[in-house]
Structure 1
């Protein structure tokens, strides 16, 4: 079949065909793992969303992805490793830029990545630490170099010490349960001597094997002696603890009974008038029980229970009462991955849902609404194949009102069509006029939804739309008599366009 016939068939598919289909909610999940802005399918393919990608979009040329590490430097940043143990960095700090992939030279068998100020530290499965610098644009500079003086590391965390200027502080949990810290810059290391048999660290707190929690100062008087940094003390109110969490301002602990404890800062005001109110004594939060996991998100506290319920409480106010109300947010959740301002949750049926700030499409639902106060479903990762070949998409397939929409340019580019777009008039034009073919043209006005095929107006039941400058058209089932066939392979979440 000639290109002209296929092109006209797909235009007909998009505009005229009588029956509409889309990805059903009962499609089999192929998600092997996920993070706050990415997922890995069972075939090893990586899908990203956020910034230029408003829904999960397949990454081309990077098969066999094994693991992801998110929010390394900026929210949305990603590091991932391949089956060959190589590591790659994806900076996502500029919404106007397309996705870039930077090889992290010198890194193999990556276990964790952390950044602070001018440095990025990487931990390998063998327990070695590697160091790289951050560039002026807050991206990672490669290659990584071995950081000498510290080894057999199981985990790393970082924070700023105030003395009164901010100083970069790195904490290392070794495999033998000891805890170490850097001295000057990253030139020397010393043990935090009283700490032994430690199983977890979070900022300036540590969890001991016996369930006790220990801490050391991170704020000092300007006349404080350096030795005060090692003034470790037990947090007496906490015992039988199994999990600790911390962000820059606050801390959480979950005990063996599934009770949730909080200490640190609550918040009042906004922007330049933001004030943090600190409480050093842990408060038992009685409004939620049987807690499995907990998270700080923006100015909220989320708790996931063993029953799969997610509850939310506000951190607004001068003090957090032990009786702070927790509101049921969603049910049937098996796990949560949190970004600084949003969460992605996986339900018992493996479907992903998002909640929180969506300014940069962090929730992967196909729009840039700033905030969602109720959970919304992340769009399914849908593959498009043209004659058995995957079609590279600038943005993934979007489903709305039970119907599928595909990016105009992605498919027609594969057919050799010329595509133009006028930003002022919001009119897209597609032309195919190669030698030996009859001319085929498509014109779409995204302001009025008026659509013309070969100069003739076509009535659209489902109008096209634009998301972040990407034009979308509805995908319809095409009759075999038109010369091209489109199938929805539900068990594979795949749209297949084939020609005879």
Structure 2
């Protein structure tokens, strides 16, 4: 009887009650850490978004998550580690509905994971490197094995060398400050001469303890001798540098004064007509000051200042001027995690905001609008409990205009109701019947928002909606007189549904 009373309560109040349940926007953040497509709550739970999860969605069965590593093979891919030091891989794509996990056997205490071409490398806290080969589908990889010939590694990175064909090149920063690189096809390793007391590496540049920046070639003459590949030179324009960043084409450096430097490629054209214009002379970008961190995202430079402001400048053009304008994008920002085409920012109040390309729901805001040119708030990670038991959701709770919406199937499946959906007519039906009791049925037309309860039309104050094929219904206060209640536990970001 309890289940039936609760089902009656939810159905009646979802459809009839004028009052709404609203999630407070001013609740304290419980986010312990975050990445460009995931976050870890203070209770160790992992939440993912992107592809079929349009908002942060709690991962079931993997408690006590410690750390995440993003964009391992494809954008959105994730490796995470648990409190027991085990490692797991989460492949993401726009086909699979549910989140899948692959145990990375033999990997413990990971501190870095990186992929390039046909290989994935993992580094543990003992300085050992492990190698796995990408499989034929290019979306997964085989078992990891210890990579011999290199040890005491503190960091890894990768890039391509053109000599004359592209060759996969890995670099390894050792704990003694030396830098090593692999020979062809990871068959051996050799030190890069002249690189000592190195504190950071990024592609083919290295930062020395004294604040100088050093580099070595990525492109070579077809007839170049093998020894030329190890020719290292100092970038004399740069001194007093504390941070270096690099992508495949361009580089950034932040000096002790918080000034931002750029060298490498700018871009013109699009698609097949894209052209990269390379200039290896560092340019001091005078349009931004007191820079704390900087990123390449799509065809832009983003800079985070010590005051918490985020500025953006374009890389479009044949040359980047020292006077390139930086435009204010966001304020009150603590930190940024960047994907290839978007960023996730954490504000001073702990809330997450996204900016950039959202084609695969990278911004976690509950839609698939291709691009957001101004920052938008990532949906809050909200847990739903039914009689103190977490309700697994295929997609997380969405709040719109202060009201919470839950996936159609979530709670109703838990209550034993039969939920069907016709993809052609866009009509959902919820049926619940037991011997000796009256049947309850709801019919919702997601095209017209017309709703019927036991074949009688009902006017909805807040109509349901669909996101990527998932139907959402508004969650309303459930009267105790109907056998159950719904509470918003703000300090826990939790909806609690309780039967009496």
- What band does the TM-score fall into relative to the shorter chain? over 0.9
- For residues 119-146 of structure 1, give each alpha carbon's deviation from its aligned partner in whole angstroms, at most 9, with x where no partner exists: 0000001100000011122233242100
Asked if structure 1 preserves the Cα contact closer than 8 Å seen for 2:80 and 2:87, the reply is yes
- Per-residue deviation at 1:397? 0.2
Instruction: Tell me, in whole angstroms, the C-alpha distance in 2 between the residues paired with 1:435 and 1:340.
Output: 56
Q: SS of the residue aligned with 1:161?
A: strand
Structure 1 equivalent of residue 288 of structure 2: 288
Tell me, yes or no, if the aligned pair for 1:204 and 1:217 is still in contact at 8 Å: yes
Provide the C-alpha distance between the structure 2 equivalents of 1:334 and 1:138, rounded to a whole number of angstroms. Answer: 35
Secondary structure of the 1:193 match is coil
Tell whether the 8 Å contact from 2:18 to 2:461 is kept in structure 1 after alignment. no
**Do residues 38 (structure 1) and 38 (structure 2) align?**
yes
Match for residue 351 of structure 1? 351
Q: CA deviation at 1:95?
A: 3.8
CA distance in 1, matches of 2:95, 2:270: 24
Partner of 2:164: 164
**Divergent runs of 4+, >6 A:** none
Q: Which residue of 2 aligns with 1:272?
A: 272
What is residue 131 of structure 1 aligned with on the other side?
131
* Paired position in structure 1 for 2:152: 152
Q: How does 1:431-442 map to 2 (within 5 A)?
A: 431-442=431-442
Residues 1:471 and 2:455 aligned together: no
Higher deviation after alignment, 444-453 or 430-439: 430-439
Aligned-pair CA distance for 1:96: 4.1
Judge conservation of contact 2:159–2:203 (CA < 8 Å) in 1: yes
Change in CA separation of 1:450 and 1:247 when aligned onto 2, cut-off 3 Å = same
- Structure 1 segment 49-448 matched on structure 2, within 5 A: 49-448=49-448
Deviations 1:236-268 (A, max 9, x none): 100000000000100000000000000000000
Q: Cα deviation per residue 1:448-486 (whole Å; 9 max; x = unaligned)?
A: 000111111111011100000100001111211111101
Quick one: distance in 2 between partners of 1:206 and 1:425?
A: 59
Contact 1:4 1:438 in 2 (8 A): no
Asked if 2 retains the 8 angstrom alpha-carbon contact of 1:4 and 1:439, the reply is no
Cα deviations across residues 331-363 of structure 1 (Å, max 9, x unaligned)? 000100000000000000110000000000000
Matched residue SS, 1:14: helix
Q: How far does residue 436 in structure 1 lie from its aligned partner after superposition? A: 4.3
- In the alignment, the residues of structure 2 paired with residue 282 and residue 418 of structure 1 have an alpha-carbon distance, to the nearest angstrom, of 64
Aligned residues: 500
Secondary structure (helix, strand or coil) at the match of 1:185 reads: helix
- Using the size of structure 1 for normalisation, the TM-score is 0.99
Equivalent pair of 2:55/2:364 in contact (CA under 8 Å)? yes
Gaps spanning 5+ residues in structure 1: where?
none
* Residues 49 and 57 in structure 1, CA contact (< 8 A), matched pair in contact too: yes
Q: Are the aligned partners of 1:365 and 1:377 in contact in 2 as well (CA < 8 Å)?
A: yes
> In structure 1, how many angstroms separate the alpha carbons of the residues matched to 2:450 and 2:373?
35
Residue equivalent to 1:499? 499
| Distance across 1 between alignment mates of 2:436 and 2:227 | 83
* Distance in 1 separating the partners of 2:208 and 2:436: 76
3-state DSSP class of the match of 1:3? helix
Contact 1:17 1:479 in 2 (8 A): no
Query: Could you tell me the TM-score, scaled by structure 2's length?
Result: 0.99
Q: Distance in 1 between matches of 2:96 and 2:60?
A: 20
Structure 2 Cα separation of the partners of residues 402 and 83 of structure 1? 36
Give 2:5's aligned residue. 5
CA contact (8 A) 1:3 1:437 kept: no
Structure 1 residue aligned with 2:451: 451
Report the alpha carbon displacement of residue 434 of structure 1 after superposing the two structures with TM: 3.3
- CA deviation vs aligned residue, 1:179-201 (integer Å, no higher than 9, x gap): 00000211100000110000000
- 1:378-412 CA-to-partner distances (Å, cap 9, x unmatched) read 00000000011000000000000111000010111
Shift of the 122–436 alpha-carbon distance from structure 1 to 2, 3 Å rule, reads farther
SS of equivalent to 1:18:
coil
Tell me which residue corresponds to 1:490: 490
Is 1:48 paired with 2:29?
A: no
